[in-house]
Amino acid sequence: MHPIEAELIEIVKSGRDWQLEDLGGITKLAPAARSLGSTPIMPELLHPLVLAWSDAKAADRDTHKGVLHDLLEVATTDFVLLEAVDILEHHRPLPDEGDECCFMLFLAKAATGDRSLSGLSRGAALDGAFRWAGDNRRWQLRLLDFFLGLAPGDDTEFLRRAVKIVGVAFSHWRDKELVEVLHKLSQLEAVRPEAAFELGMAALAEAMDRADSNAAATAFREAREWFGESDEISEHRPEASLYLNGLDLLLNFHSGAVSASLDTVSVRVQQRAFELHAWSGGSGPPWLGARQTEAACWSALASAVAGLAGSLDEPSWWEPAAVIEESLLSVYSAGRSILRRDKHGGVEAMVRPRIRASVATQAGQAHQVRTWLQQNATHEWTAEAQDLIAQIGSFIEQSGSPENPPEAASERTSLAAIIAGSKIPEEQRSILLGVVANAMSLQLANMTSSEADVIERCCNEVRGHTDYSTNMNGARLFDTVLLWLVRFVFNRLELTKGDDPTGSYLFERDDGSMPHEDELQQDFFRWVATYAAGSDLEPTNIASGRADIRLKFGPERLVVEVKREEKDCSFDALFKSYAAQTADYQNVSIRLGVLLVLDLATPNREGTPHLTSLFEIRRVCRLGEDQSRFILIVKIPGRRKRPSDLTKLARTNR
Interatomic CA distance for residues 90 and 545, integer angstroms: 65
Is residue 351 domain-resident?
Answer: no
Instruction: Please give the tally of structural domains in the chain.
Output: 2
Largest interatomic CA distance in the chain = 103
Residue 480 belongs to domain spanning: 458-652
Q: Which of 217, 234, 251 is the last residue of a domain?
A: 234
Cα radius of gyration (the chain): 32
Residue 563, SS3 per DSSP: strand
Task: Give domain status of residue 350, yes or no.
Answer: no
pLDDT confidence band for 18 (50 / 70 / 90):
confident
Residue 145 forms part of a structural domain? yes
Q: Residue 282's pLDDT band (boundaries 50, 70, 90)?
A: low
The whole-angstrom separation of Cα 426 and Cα 429 is 5
Tell me, yes or no, whether 370 lies in a domain: no
Dist CA 599 CA 581 (whole Å)? 18
Conformation bin of residue 16: beta by default, left when phi > 0, alpha when psi is -120 to 50:
beta
Confidence of residue 82 (pLDDT cuts 50, 70, 90): very high
Mean pLDDT over the full length of the chain: 86
Beta carbons of 134 and 170 less than 8 angstroms apart: no
SS3 state of residue 595 = strand
Q: At residue 499, does pLDDT exceed 60?
A: yes
Q: What is the β-pairing status of strands 592-599 and 556-565?
A: parallel
Q: How far is CA 191 from CA 125, 145, 157, 171, 267, in A?
A: 19, 21, 8, 19, 30
Domain presence at residue 264: no
Closest CA to 169 of 141, 188, 190: 141
Span 139-152, mean pLDDT? 95
User: Do the domain assignments include residue 308?
Assistant: no
Worst-scoring range by mean pLDDT, 300-309, 324-333, 434-443, 545-554?
A: 545-554
Is the pLDDT confidence value at 114 over 60?
yes
Mean pLDDT of 499-522: 85
Please indicate, yes or no, if residue 506 is contained in any of the structural domains.
Answer: yes
CA-wise closest residue to 626 among 247, 202, 245: 202
Q: What are phi and psi of 630, to 5 degrees?
A: -120, 140
For the full predicted model, state whether its pTM sits above 0.85: no
In a domain, 154, yes or no: yes
Q: What is the mean pLDDT of residues 527-539?
A: 70
290 confidence band (pLDDT: 50, 70, 90): confident
- Of the ranges 165-174, 219-228, 620-629, which one carries the lowest mean pLDDT score? 620-629
- Dihedral, 241, 247, 248, 251 alpha carbons, nearest 10: -170
Q: Where are the alpha helices (DSSP H) in 111-155?
A: 119-132, 137-148
Lowest mean pLDDT among 121-130, 144-153, 232-241, 434-443: 434-443
Query: Among 143-147, 340-344, 483-487, 561-565, which is the least confidently predicted range?
Result: 340-344
**pLDDT at position 626, please?**
80
- In the listed set 203, 234, 265, which residue is the last one of a domain according to the structure? 234
Domain boundary among 200, 234, 268: 234
Is residue 420 very low, low, confident or very high in pLDDT (cuts 50, 70, 90)? low
pLDDT reported for residue 361 = 84
